[in-house]
Amino acid sequence: MAGSTVNISQIVTATANRLRMVQVDFSDQTAEARREYLSEEIERALSSVVPDQRQEFLRALMEQFPSWDARVEVQLRKEDTTDRTLTDARELQDPNFLVARLIDRAAALGEGERKVLVERLKEANLAVVSQGAWPEEAAAALRQALRLTEPTLDPVRTLELVGVLSDFAMKLDQLVWSTWRAIAPRAEIRQGRKLQQTVKSFITGSQDVPLGQVTGDLERLRQLIAAMISAIGQAGRQFASRHLSRFAPAEIEALASLESGGFLVSKDVKCWRKYRELAESLNEAAIENEITETIANYAEMIIKGIGR
């Protein structure tokens, strides 16, 4: 095929040039040493040629570089003249093997050869085509946020990270606000527009959603999360304080002393009756409601304090 001929021609030219360089670089060494270096170079070149094209490659190489030191000849090895083995066939169908061979040969390729390979990889959608440089201001902001010292940002990995973080933020936004609606149905603080809608409008270029709105929605989410966590930490102490204010012995005695019961009813009986009366309202639903109300009230107080 025409494409294969061009490739063989490029490899032959590059190999012939390297052979000449080897001959010059090791001209002060023995003929045997030079023969070994040259043979090694040809071996490396053959490894990048598919088996059924090696004869063609060696013939073309002999035309460009028929001999060196007038004593070394290019000999076709037996394995190079045989049909492609089953192993060769399997390897040539294995993308991982082919990529590994390409990486192994990359260091020996010239700039022109590299460009040709990159263009062919792009045509096959195996190489990323850059759509332009990063905006410097945005790149600088990202480096500052992540405390980066490296000057280069990988565009593919950056977009992958944006996807992961966006998914995390959307799920967290949904969970936190739904939980808030459940524990504080009458609270003044409400979600408004969902974060997913804001982010989607922003990244698709909507002029109605500036960056400030995205950061504002994220800040509201951060404040709510922080307030709820702080409120959970305070809920136990506040519930215990309220419980003791109603069921402490001194409180029970004070309330019992206000009750009428006659002189024949002892103080202990009056206190027990008062405790049982108060305890009737102490059930699972009431306790749960009191705890969630404590969390909601404390969280809302914190958020309003932040807003001021």
Q: Is the pLDDT assigned to residue 69 strictly greater than 60?
A: no
Domain range list for the chain: 2-93, 155-308
3-state secondary structure of 190: coil
Q: Is the pTM of this model over 0.85?
A: no
Residues 54, 106, 90: CA angle, nearest 5 degrees: 50
d(C-alpha 110, C-alpha 108), whole Å: 7
Q: Phi, psi at residue 38, to the nearest 5°? A: -65, -40
Tokens read off for 191? 């979600």
Tokens read off for 104? 């192994």
d(C-alpha 255, C-alpha 266), whole Å: 14
d(C-alpha 5, C-alpha 8), whole Å: 5
Q: Kindly give, in sequence order, each residue whose CB lies less than 8 Å from that of residue 33, ignoring residues fewer than 6 positions away.
A: 26
pLDDT of residue 26: 75
pLDDT of residue 171: 93
pLDDT of residue 266: 74
Q: Is the pLDDT assigned to residue 76 strictly greater than 60?
A: no
d(C-alpha 39, C-alpha 166), whole Å: 56
Confidence of residue 66 (pLDDT cuts 50, 70, 90): low
pLDDT of residue 82: 46
pLDDT of residue 2: 41
d(C-alpha 204, C-alpha 209), whole Å: 10
d(C-alpha 164, C-alpha 161), whole Å: 5
Closest by CA position to 50, among listed 100, 98, 95: 98
pLDDT of residue 6: 44
d(C-alpha 160, C-alpha 156), whole Å: 6
Average pLDDT over every residue of 136-161:
83
Averaged confidence pLDDT in the chain: 77
Q: Is the pLDDT assigned to residue 262 strictly greater than 90?
A: no
Q: Is the pLDDT assigned to residue 68 strictly greater than 50?
A: no
Summarised one tens digit per residue, pLDDT across range 187-198 is 888 888 888 899
Summarised one tens digit per residue, pLDDT across range 80-133 is 444 445 555 665 677 776 777 777 777 777 777 777 777 777 777 776 555 556
| CA distance to 18, 20, 74, 173, 306, per residue, from 27 (Å) | 14, 10, 19, 72, 80
Summarised one tens digit per residue, pLDDT across range 34-62 is 788 888 888 888 887 878 788 888 888 88
Q: Kindly give, in sequence order, each residue whose CB lies less than 8 Å from that of residue 306, ignoring residues fewer than 6 positions away.
A: 223, 227
Alpha helix ranges (H) inside the chain: 2-25, 31-47, 54-64, 78-81, 86-92, 95-106, 111-123, 136-146, 155-183, 195-203, 211-247, 249-257, 267-279, 284-307
pLDDT of residue 172: 92
